[in-house]
């Protein structure tokens, strides 16, 4: 059920004219790089129900990306898959619970995360503002592609049904979910929680909490760079990806979220053209975005969209 943006709020997010051309160029560049997927069994973490693997693949700029891959021990010949995307500071979890529900699941650690920082390590804080004045070298250019390349890893697995792939995450993972659902047509269903990386320049005025405050810190030191920053982040703003999302999607926000302001969540949701979309708002909740209540909704959503062979 759609809900309008509050009447006193107007998003200032504008999509660059060459937005599509920019990302088409990035995708063309990464397509020429061999994925070189690798899976290493992890017997210590494997159980009778779930097989656990350390996974690796190569992304743009030939950065080697780490992930956890879990699959049900007992599964159909072709199983549904989930891509699990991480928060800003949290390390990606081993997705055993998703595997127990019947999904082959890849939990990605994009560049800079603990298991993927040998070639790129801007640190935290700093990821959000690393090369933020240049869209061609901005940290999130590679970070986004690392997430999208996780789909290629899943597609390389013979046990996965390529017609049943979902993506989910919260906070930064929610923002990555939006961009991934937009750019990878293989995604059949998406659930984005408290989406970060949406309405960057609105958010830095609506809140003064971190991580967004990293941009304000940067601008206090480099006030002359404001225009360059605004130009760069427009290419990475989830609101500008939203109009490419056509798969079923649910979004949840906390109405008292002072990390990812709810205004940006409304603006994002209103830009999504998908017919099957639902916004869940949780009054009395902050950046958790009603997680304790919403987890069951996410589970039911993916069960309906992915567990039944179409």
Catalytic-residue membership of 107: no
H helices of 186-278, in order, are: 200-206, 213-221, 226-233, 238-241, 262-271
Catalytic-residue membership of 24: no
Q: Are 139 and 127 in contact (CB under 8 A)?
A: yes
Catalytic residue among 59, 171, 202, 288: 171
Distances (CA, A) of 151 to 59, 162, 180, 189, 220: 12, 10, 9, 13, 38
d(CA 310, CA 199) in angstroms, rounded, equals 36
The helix/strand/coil state of 283 is coil
- Determine the angle formed by the axes of helices 19-31 and 139-155, rounding to 10 degrees: 50
Catalytic residue among 146, 237, 257, 288: 257
Q: Quick one: which H or E segment has residue 25? A: helix 19-31
Task: Read off φ and ψ for residue 115, nearest 5 degrees.
Answer: -90, 5
Would you give the DSSP letter of residue 272?
A: -
Residue 308 neighbours by CB under 8 Å, 6+ apart: none
CA angle 25, 27, 33 (to 5 degrees): 115
Catalytic residue among 59, 287, 288, 294: 287
Catalytic-residue membership of 285: no
Distances (CA, A) of 157 to 71, 79, 104, 152, 174: 11, 10, 10, 9, 25
> Dihedral, CA atoms, 18, 192, 278, 10, nearest 10 degrees?
-50
Q: Are 169 and 291 in contact (CB under 8 A)?
A: no
Q: Are 59 and 147 in contact (CB under 8 A)?
A: no
d(CA 30, CA 9) in angstroms, rounded, equals 38
Residues marked as catalytic? 171, 257, 287
């Amino acid at each position: 059920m759609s809900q309008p943006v509050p009447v006193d709020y107007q998003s200032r997010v504008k999509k660059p004219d060459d937005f599509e051309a920019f990302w088409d160029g990035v995708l063309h560049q990464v397509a020429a790089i061999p994925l070189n997927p690798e899976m290493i069994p992890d017997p210590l973490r494997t159980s009778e129900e779930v097989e656990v693997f350390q996974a690796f693949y190569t992304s743009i700029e030939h950065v080697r990306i780490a992930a956890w891959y879990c699959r049900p021990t007992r599964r159909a010949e072709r199983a549904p898959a989930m891509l699990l995307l991480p928060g800003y500071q949290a390390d990606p979890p081993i997705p055993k619970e998703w595997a127990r529900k019947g999904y082959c699941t890849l939990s990605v650690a994009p560049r800079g995360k603990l298991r993927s920082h040998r070639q790129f390590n801007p640190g935290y804080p700093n990821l959000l503002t690393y090369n933020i004045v240049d869209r061609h070298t901005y940290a999130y250019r590679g970070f986004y592609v690392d997430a999208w390349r996780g789909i290629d890893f899943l597609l390389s697995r013979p046990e996965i049904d390529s017609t049943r792939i979902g993506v989910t995450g919260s906070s930064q993972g929610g923002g990555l979910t939006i961009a991934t659902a937009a750019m990878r047509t293989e995604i059949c269903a998406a659930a984005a929680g408290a989406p970060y990386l949406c309405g960057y320049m609105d958010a830095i005025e609506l809140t003064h909490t971190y991580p967004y405050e990293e941009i304000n810190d940067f601008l206090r030191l480099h006030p002359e760079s404001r225009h360059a920053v605004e130009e760069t982040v427009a290419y990475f703003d989830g609101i500008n990806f939203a109009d490419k999302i056509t798969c079923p999607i649910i979004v949840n926000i906390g109405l008292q979220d002072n990390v990812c302001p709810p205004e940006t969540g409304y603006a994002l949701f209103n830009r999504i053209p998908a017919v099957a979309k639902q916004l869940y708002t949780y009054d009395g909740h902050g950046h958790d975005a009603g997680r304790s209540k919403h987890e069951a909704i996410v589970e039911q959503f993916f069960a309906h969209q992915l567990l039944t062979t179409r």
